[in-house]
Amino acid sequence: MLLIPGPVSCSTEVIKALGTDSLSHTGGEFTPIFHNVLKQLRVLFHSPTSSGSMPLVISGSGTLGFDLVGNNLFPRGKNKILLLSTGYFSDEFGECLGDYYKHDITVLKSDVVGESINLVKLQDLLHKGSYDGVVMTHVDTSTGVLNDIKRISELVHSESPGTLVIVDAVCSLGCEEIRFDDWQLDFVLSASQKAVGAPTGLSISMISKRALDIALENDNTVSYYTSLKKWVPSIKSYEIGELPVTYFATPPIQLISALNIALQQLLSRDYVGEHRKRSNWFKKELTESLGLELVSRGPVETTAHGLASVYVANPGGIVTALNRLDIAIAGGIHPEIKGQYIRVGLMGCDASEPTLLRVLDAVRQSQT
């Protein structure tokens, strides 16, 4: 039983689509599959073709999305980027943009570990400074903090309309609502192996028209494999779906076939509602019944719905006890509070009520 916050357990149908032989990457069998994946991603992101946006699916892990941003969206030079930091993964994103792509990073940290970004402080910074991009983590998998990206984007657009709004949604796509066009987002990066319900190995993103224009005119990209000038013609040809498609690098046939089924299943359900309900119930059990404190602060309804991060007396003991029952949960990874909490994934096929009840039991026993 896989109850870590990703990779998650996939459905039987997804695994069946995965366990098929290779197809020609430019042929008539695979092209409609990739076409369908891209079409469904537009539904998932609420972003039709008419908006000029574009979905991207690239062979690689979620981390590759950091490079798509750093390499393409800011023509090189000292670009000013405001990084909203709510945990380990925000800081990794900042390392990529600052230490590697040499952008000038200003960090706005949450006031306390577990809090989302302070909007008053954000408004103040936006008012005083001039930023080429604001970068945030929708859900930081290290803390379970959920940022209100809709309100943050509104703030950015009202204070600084030229600034790109960039979101890491690795741990939110498929379990939190993301209205790409309505919320005027410019780049959302995610991955296949969390709430989307597919295997690991695909970087999934959506890029706005204005960000795409920047990327395609950017003459200073330094990384070849993450250059959108190379990828966009190929992915666009799969989205059009007519042969011959344009080749750049061979797409991972089976992972894309599995993603196709995962998206069909996801979009046929009220995936936001289901994750909310499960998360709210589980977190109330942790806080109200067991009297524990979540790492993510505020009402449980406003914390990430794809995982629960909770302070416990003996994190290692609980992880080990559950391992013995064949249930994998995760320990903490936020450097400031690493040894003080556990993380329980609430995404994927194994995150059912009976299994979560067993987790609650193990937590209860360890507290006594």
Chain residues binding a second copy by CB under 8 A are 2, 4, 6-10, 15-16, 18-25, 27, 59-64, 66-67, 70-71, 95-96, 99-102, 191, 193, 199-201, 221-227, 247-255, 328, 333, 348
Beta-bridged to residue 242, according to DSSP, are none
In three-state secondary structure terms, 85 is strand
Residue among 64 and 310 whose Cβ is closer to a second copy: 64
Residue among 43 and 216 whose Cβ is closer to a second copy: 216
Compute the least distance from the CB of residue 255 to a second copy, in Å: 6
- Do 233 and 216 meet the contact criterion of CB atoms below 8 Å apart? no
Compute the least distance from the CB of residue 151 to a second copy, in Å: 29
Compute the least distance from the CB of residue 93 to a second copy, in Å: 9
Residue among 6 and 55 whose Cβ is closer to a second copy: 6
Task: State the CB neighbour count (10 A cutoff) for residue 278.
Answer: 20
Residue among 47 and 90 whose Cβ is closer to a second copy: 90
Compute the least distance from the CB of residue 128 to a second copy, in Å: 29
Residue among 46 and 102 whose Cβ is closer to a second copy: 102
Residue reference for tokens 């609420």: 46
CA–CA distance, 81 with 87 (Å, rounded to integer): 17
Q: Which phi and psi angles does 58 have, rounded to 5°?
A: -130, 140
Comparing CA positions, the residue from 215, 170, 216, 181 lying closest to residue 43 is 181
User: Regarding beta strands 202-207 and 187-191, do their DSSP bridges make them parallel or antiparallel, or are they unpaired?
Assistant: antiparallel
CA–CA distance, 137 with 148 (Å, rounded to integer): 10
Residue among 51 and 63 whose Cβ is closer to a second copy: 63
Compute the least distance from the CB of residue 182 to a second copy, in Å: 30
- For residue 221, the number of C-alpha atoms closer than 13 Å in the C-beta half-sphere is 20
Compute the least distance from the CB of residue 61 to a second copy, in Å: 4
